[in-house]
A and B are shown apart, each in its own frame.
Chain A
Amino acid sequence: EAQVTQNPRYLITVTGKKLTVTCSQNMNHEYMSWYRQDPGLGLRQIYYSMNVEVTDKGDVPEGYKVSRKEKRNFPLILESPSPNQTSLYFCASSLSGIRETQYFGPGTRLLVL
């Protein structure tokens, strides 16, 4: 089944404790991205990757890191999480970066205390 998977689905952590949210897709998509969803703000892009070893900032990159060492994986790293990063995070992928449909993972709900 074609899908985007994320792990973990739920995470509670404390300020400053590094964490990684994994994202994997099995559709051989070139383009992958991370969004966060917050009440009243909708979804905003954090980082994106056009292909392996190519990443770029989205609208709200501060406090986040990403890497794209393999085509199928695009982990999101919070080196020193803060409470304002409490949010619902979605990974998404698309065949290419030019106006294509993006397919979303199930989401990771993060609470930073």
Chain B
Amino acid sequence: GNSVTQMEGPVTLSEEAFLTINCTYTATGYPSLFWYVQYPGEGLQLLLKATKADDKGSNKGFEATYRKETTSFHLEKGSVQVSDSAVYFCALRDGADGLTFGKGTHLIIQP
């Protein structure tokens, strides 16, 4: 079956630091890949996505590249802000199934 593995954290960084959150996946088909973000007390918002190999998704300074050869979709941001503190979920969607999520990475940015 499908699965997503990501670091759970919490990950604590200082403002303006470089961020990487690793995500690897296992899928039987050719999935679309997603990063969702959950701010405290809120629902999930789509952050970015990629639908095929070598695609790069980007939004709000965050980027992730669909790497089929390493089955990875690592999230990066060059300079984080306190407002980026949230839980980040890597997910895949393969065929007609729903999303398969990683367990989420709690990111804490300190001023």
Q: Within 8 Å CB of B42, what residues of A? A: 106-107
A6 to chain B, nearest CB (A): 9
B residues 55-111 touching A (CB-CB < 8 Å): 89, 93-99, 101-104
Partner of B94, one of A40, A99, A105: A99
Over the window 92-111 of chain A, the binary record of Cβ atoms lying under 8 Å from chain B Cβ atoms (1 yes, 0 no) is 10000111111111110000
Count of A-B contacts judged by CB separation below 8 Å = 56
A7 to chain B, nearest CB (A): 13
Number of chain A residues close to chain B: CB under 8 A: 24
A98 to B101 alpha-carbon distance, docked (Å): 16
A68 to chain B, nearest CB (A): 14
Q: Within 8 Å CB of A92, what residues of B? A: 44, 98-99
Given A42-B103, A90-B43, A104-B43 in contact, is the A99-B98 Cβ separation under 8 Å?
no
Name A's B-contacting residues (CB within 8 A): 33, 35, 40-45, 48, 50, 58, 90, 92, 97-107
